[in-house]
Amino acid sequence: MRFDSDYKMLIDGKLVAASDDIEVINPALGTSFATCPRATKDDLELAVSAATRAFRTWKNVPLDERRIALKKAAAAIMENADAFASLFTKEQGRPTALAKEEVMGAAYWLSSTADLELPVDVTEDTDQRRIEVHHVPLGVVCAIVPWNFPMLLASWKIAPALLTGNTIVLKPSPYTPLCTLKLGELLQEVFPPGVINIISGGDELGPWMTAHKGFSKISFTGSTATGKRVMESAAHDLKKVTLELGGNDAAIVLPDVDVDKVAEQLFAGAFSNTAQICVATKRLYVHEDIYDAVRDRMHEIAKSARVGDGSDQGNTYGPVQNKAQYERVLDLLEDARKNGLQLLYGSDVPEQGYFIPLTIVDNPPEQSRVVQEEAFGPILPMMKFSDLDEVIDRANDTDYGLAGAVWSADLEKAKQVAASMETGTVWINQNLQSTPFTPITGHKQSGVGSENGVYGLREFTQAKAIYIPKSAASVS
Ligand code: NAD
């Protein structure tokens, strides 16, 4: 299989081109290097009809066979991990070694989710009757994925949807469609026609999908603004929704930590993937006793960071993924500059492409845009605090509630802080961790529902209670 050309959609088990194409940009160069199909409404119709037909049989395929199919999908990804990783770097920008981690992560998620169990619940079992609650599939799932983790986040939808007996039509972001389309080509050999369909398109495709009556469920990952539109569109036919949305995650660093040990980890938690991670630290609160030391150490790390084209070995940080996001981060930087905020820049970056130095904003006011908004790019506000209760209030004073972190040598105190953070995930002395067995959930406007683990599986099913008498005496 070639990874450098022939990007086609997977519809009803066939690889399909479109009458029109979309240019795909390499963000390290700012120039187009490939095209992907721009799906039409007819393509969407074909995909939804194929998924609807396939659902009739796929839901009755024994669970163990569905597990085996997901394991085969995982193995196929692993066999092609290097090819995926270099294509990933070209379209997404992330350095190839780190891109490969995501590719392998997608395989791991498919394979691990396949092992999950969602057994029948028995809510009553008496001499008279037994009540069983089964988890039945919903139908055809509409899956929409963003550009920051295109393969991993696709696997978070494909695995639970198919394991529980649904079929799926998945759309990657127009900025990062290529690896997902190649994934479709691999999965053509693994799943029966129509069980998984992958279609690519422009800004018009997402709204067409969410409004389509053929879907029973929407699983969406993206920004909070788009998530609200998705929910509005889903309301017309009361489609079930899972929304994994934006965040403005706070990390709180207590004065008892070893600055040298913690600074590297704080830096990685904020700037990995060039800060384009939904659960990255986006507001860093450091106790005043160690603030200057942490700031200076992090600034040193930023100045020595290797930022550049991800296909050059040795670079650890790539570009911002697309022009719109690049301009948004530049706008936040300009706003900070205009307001006289202290900016601590990292190493120089290439002139070509969507590069921005890894930048720390030194103790900006809480109300500044860079603190209040999700930057989703390499600009990190770092603030001083003196009182723990007060900083917890500051951390929670946001419409978002995705993840948070607390850093302290006192685990009991850290657990108390964790308990008071209004987020779906809290890490103690670590960050950016997730597992296929643990739900990721957005509080407040960071989401609706959960992904991953048994919590995630449930989102792709309907609870169905069956009351079974112990004898048929009353009717015979
Ligand atoms: P986005 O909302 O712009 O786009 C996400 C996806 O939705 C893309 O595939 C896009 O084409 C599609 N889309 C756009 N408009 C649509 C519409 N009206 N209806 C249906 N689909 C539409 O987000 P993005 O810029 O691609 O991703 C960045 C955002 O995603 C950040 O806010 C980040 O925090 C969030 N994110 C959240 C998680 C999580 O698990 N909570 C994970 C990754 C990213």
**What's the confidence (pLDDT) of residue 127?**
97
Does ligand 1 lie within 6 Å of residue 146's CB atom? yes
E strand or H helix at 138: none
- Give me ligand 1 centre to Cα 92, in Å: 15
- Give me ligand 1 centre to Cα 145, in Å: 6
Tokens representing 117? Answer: 């169990």
Domain boundaries, the chain: 9-245+446-465, 250-428
Does ligand 1 lie within 6 Å of residue 173's CB atom? yes
- Give me ligand 1 centre to Cα 224, in Å: 8
Does ligand 1 lie within 6 Å of residue 102's CB atom? no
**What's the confidence (pLDDT) of residue 385?**
98
Question: Which residue among 144, 204, 438, 451 is best mutated to probe the pocket of ligand 1, counting the most ligand atoms within 8 A of its Cβ?
Answer: 144
Let me know if the fold of 9-245+446-465 is the same as that of 250-428. Answer: no
Q: Which residues of 284-318 are buried (b: 16+ CB within 10 A; e: fewer)?
A: bbbbeebbeebbebbbebbeebebbbbbeeebbbb
Three-class secondary structure assignment of 43-106: HHHHHHHHHHHHHHHHCCCCHHHHHHHHHHHHHHHHHCHHHHHHHHHHHHCCCHHHHHHHHHHH
Closest residue to atom 13 of ligand 1, CA basis: 206
Q: The tokens 């891109």 sit on which residue?
A: 99
**What's the confidence (pLDDT) of residue 22?**
98
**What's the confidence (pLDDT) of residue 53?**
98
Listed as ranges, residues in the chain with pLDDT below 50 are: none
Rounded CA-CA distance 330/31 in Å is 19
Output the CA torsion sign for 12, 17, 20, 26.
Answer: positive
Closest residue to atom 26 of ligand 1, CA basis: 146
Q: Any idea what DSSP says for residue 165?
A: T
Rounded CA-CA distance 450/472 in Å is 41
Does ligand 1 lie within 6 Å of residue 22's CB atom? no
Does ligand 1 lie within 6 Å of residue 222's CB atom? yes
Rounded CA-CA distance 475/79 in Å is 58
**Model pLDDT for residues 75-133, shown as the tens digit of each residue:** 999 999 999 999 999 999 999 999 999 999 999 999 999 999 999 999 999 999 999 99
Does ligand 1 lie within 6 Å of residue 229's CB atom? yes
Closest residue to atom 30 of ligand 1, CA basis: 222
E strand or H helix at 465: strand 461-469
Rama region for 194: left / alpha / beta (φ>0; ψ in -120 to 50; rest):
left
No. of helices (H) and no. of strands (E), the chain: 15, 22
- Give me ligand 1 centre to Cα 227, in Å: 7
9-245+446-465: what CATH class? alpha beta
Does ligand 1 lie within 6 Å of residue 442's CB atom? yes
With vertex at residue 263, the alpha carbon angle to CA 297 and CA 244, rounded to the nearest 5 degrees, is 130
Closest residue to atom 42 of ligand 1, CA basis: 278
| Number of residues written out for the chain | 476
Strand, helix or coil for residue 391: helix
Tokens representing 291? Answer: 């603030």
Does ligand 1 lie within 6 Å of residue 402's CB atom? yes
Give the position, in ligand 1's atom list, of the atom nearest the Cα of 324.
Answer: 25
Taking alpha carbons only, the member of 456, 464, 468 closest to residue 141 is: 456
Q: Are 184 and 1 in contact (CB under 8 A)?
A: no
Does ligand 1 lie within 6 Å of residue 207's CB atom? yes
Tokens representing 225? Answer: 């603004």
Closest residue to atom 10 of ligand 1, CA basis: 173
Q: The tokens 């393969």 sit on which residue?
A: 151
250-428: what CATH class? alpha beta
**What's the confidence (pLDDT) of residue 178?**
98
Strand 196-198 versus strand 167-171 pairing type: parallel
Rounded CA-CA distance 336/334 in Å is 5
**What's the confidence (pLDDT) of residue 34?**
98
Question: How far is it between the farthest Cα atoms of the chain?
Answer: 85
Q: Which residues are catalytic?
A: 244, 278
**What's the confidence (pLDDT) of residue 135?**
98
